[in-house]
Amino acid sequence: MRSVSQDLSTTSYALLGLLVFDGSPSPGMTGYEVKQRADKTLRFYWVSPAMSQVYTELERLARFGLASSTSDVPGQRRARRYKITALGQQRLEQWLAQPEVDFPTLKHPVALRLLMSGLVGPERARTLLEGYLDQLASRRADLLQVRGSLGEAESLRYPAMVADWGLDYYDSEARMVHELLVRLRPAGTAATDPGPTNLGQSAGPVSPR
């Protein structure tokens, strides 16, 4: 017989983790609330699952006894609320305690396109990288709002650390992209890219780590 851990994906454990941080006014979280929480957190460093996958995973967690399921209104399945159980928290802690963690797999569509940009020339490559800079600035601004909402509460210390990590990641990506843009300039062309060291300088300081 397979263990429960063999039937759970990393996304399953991620959703269990979201249930730990249940901040809803009602006991437990609906699938829609879990999806909202995933969109505000998981998308920055993992994958925010589709709505259908959220419901599928929550039902699986409930079936394994890792989450409890209750209904706001009897008979309305779509209004079900989920809470992590003691067994669910135990399984989550066991997963977190595993000594070996898979090395991150980098799937970088911008880097992939830049790899083959010799076929389209430096101007197309510049357009690609400049567009990526805009996306980085937008994503960083979103994460900065999340970081601000976490504050310095001890109970949110670890999510705050991950948010700070993400902000530094976006800054380092922007620095690298600016260096690549400089390298794409024709020889002898004066520098025009400012190459900021912090995408969020105009958005206000990040709370001290």
Q: What is the pLDDT of residue 205?
A: 41
Q: CA distances (Å), 58 to each of 12, 16, 83, in order?
A: 8, 9, 10
Q: How confident is the model at residue 2 (pLDDT cuts 50, 70, 90)?
A: very low
Q: How confident is the model at residue 199 (pLDDT cuts 50, 70, 90)?
A: low
Q: How confident is the model at residue 186 (pLDDT cuts 50, 70, 90)?
A: confident
User: Helix H segments across 97-121?
Assistant: 109-115
Task: For residue 199, give the DSSP letter.
Answer: T
Q: What is the pLDDT of residue 202?
A: 37
The angle at the Cα of 189, spanning 186 to 195, to the nearest 5 degrees, equals 95
User: Helix H segments across 97-152?
Assistant: 109-115, 122-150
Provide the angle, in degrees to the nearest 10, between the axes of the packed helices 31-40 and 10-20: 100
Over residues 149-166, the pLDDT tens digits come to: 999 999 899 999 999 999
Which three-class secondary structure state does DSSP give residue 78? helix
Which three-class secondary structure state does DSSP give residue 186? coil
Over residues 81-140, the pLDDT tens digits come to: 999 999 999 999 999 998 888 898 889 999 999 999 999 999 999 999 999 999 999 999
> Chain centroid to CA 106: how far?
14
Residue type, 19: L
* H or E element at residue 70: strand 67-71
Q: What is the pLDDT of residue 47?
A: 86
Over residues 27-63, the pLDDT tens digits come to: 789 999 999 999 989 999 988 899 999 999 999 999 9
Full-model pTM: 0.79
Question: What is d(CA 150, CA 159) in angstroms, rounded to the nearest whole number?
Answer: 8
> Chain centroid to CA 36: how far?
12
Over residues 120-135, the pLDDT tens digits come to: 999 999 999 999 999 9
Q: What is the pLDDT of residue 192?
A: 54
Mean pLDDT of 146-151: 94
